Amino acid sequence: QVQLQESGPGLLRPSQTLSLTCTVSGGSISRGSYFWSWVRQPAGKGLEWIGRVFISGDTNYNPSLKSRLTMSVDTSKNQFSLQLTSVTAADTAVYYCARESVAVAGLDLWGQGTLVTVSS
């Protein structure tokens, strides 16, 4: 079955750029009608929707992050990615990649999450 796995650095310094990749296994990222999404969760807090990218490259970003955010899809590697520039301690969180089916209109498949800590 299809699975998602996040990868990226666990520790960043303030002002650096966060780059995360989500690898899709067990199926093609190009098959079907899906949005590929990112959600984050600071420790002990709720979920924050970051944004999503469609296979065409179309994106929707959270306005609170839009000026620092870039999402893309690499079909040759069956991956999608997130870049967040100028990180601060407020960006410390568990970052999840997830799949949203156009048919279901919900995030029906999630990665296990990866902890990103921003600290000097």
Partner 1 sequence: DIQMTQSPSSVSASVGDRVTITCRASQGITTWLSWYQQRPGKAPKLLIYEASNLQSGVPSRFSGSGSGTDFTLTISSLQPEDFATYYCQQADSSPFTFGPGTRVDMK
SS3 content of the chain, % helix, strand, coil (to 5): 5, 50, 40
Piece in contact with partner 1 (CB under 8 A), picked from 10-18, 69-77, 82-90, 99-107: 99-107
Judged by beta carbon, residue 16 or residue 70, the one nearer partner 1 is 70
Taking CB under 8 A as the rule, does residue 62 contact partner 1? yes
- Chain centroid, CA 50 distance in Å: 7
Taking CB under 8 A as the rule, does residue 47 contact partner 1? yes
Piece in contact with partner 1 (CB under 8 A), picked from 13-21, 73-81, 82-90, 103-111: 103-111
Taking CB under 8 A as the rule, does residue 108 contact partner 1? yes
If we measure between CA atoms, which residue out of 20, 16, 11 comes closest to residue 98? 20
The two tokens of residue 49 are 């929707």
Taking CB under 8 A as the rule, does residue 113 contact partner 1? yes
Interface with partner 1 by CB under 8 A: which residues?
A: 39, 46-49, 51, 60-64, 96, 98, 104-108, 110-113
